[in-house]
């Protein structure tokens, strides 16, 4: 997860430090988000699910059976996070 956040920051020109939280602090933060008004951004269940690997085993039909061609995150991310991506116009309007 930290690697994805760093990659998004690099392509989105918003590099900031990624600081891991101790699990207790993360669970407390997730609880506070659960209790906040509106749809929660994070829950303790979300946090727990991130502790389990989520990697395809190859034992079930994959992306090709769904008509999806896999591509590298390094090839796709710059098209929507980079300076020439979909948000680049918004960034220019904001003066960034």
Positions of E strands within the chain:
none
- To 10 degrees, what angle do helices 2-11 and 73-81 make? 50
Q: Are 33 and 21 in contact (CB under 8 A)?
A: no
Q: Coil, strand, or helix at residue 69? A: coil
Q: Taking residues 53-82, what's their average pLDDT? A: 81
Q: Are 43 and 33 in contact (CB under 8 A)?
A: yes
Q: What is the pLDDT of residue 38?
A: 92
Q: pLDDT class for 44, splitting at 50, 70, 90?
A: very high
Q: What are 8-19's pLDDT values in tens digits?
A: 888 877 788 898
Q: pLDDT class for 58, splitting at 50, 70, 90?
A: confident
Q: What is the mean pLDDT of the chain?
A: 82
């Amino acid at each position: 997860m930290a690697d994805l956040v760093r990659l998004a920051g690099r392509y989105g020109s918003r590099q900031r430090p990624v600081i891991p939280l101790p699990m207790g602090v993360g669970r407390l933060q997730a609880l506070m988000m659960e209790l906040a008004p509106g749809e929660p951004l994070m829950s303790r269940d979300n946090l727990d699910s991130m502790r389990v690997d989520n990697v395809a085993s190859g034992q079930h039909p994959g992306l090709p059976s769904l008509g999806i061609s896999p591509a590298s995150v390094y090839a796709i991310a710059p098209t929507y996070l980079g300076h020439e991506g979909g948000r680049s116009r918004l960034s220019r309007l904001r003066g960034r």
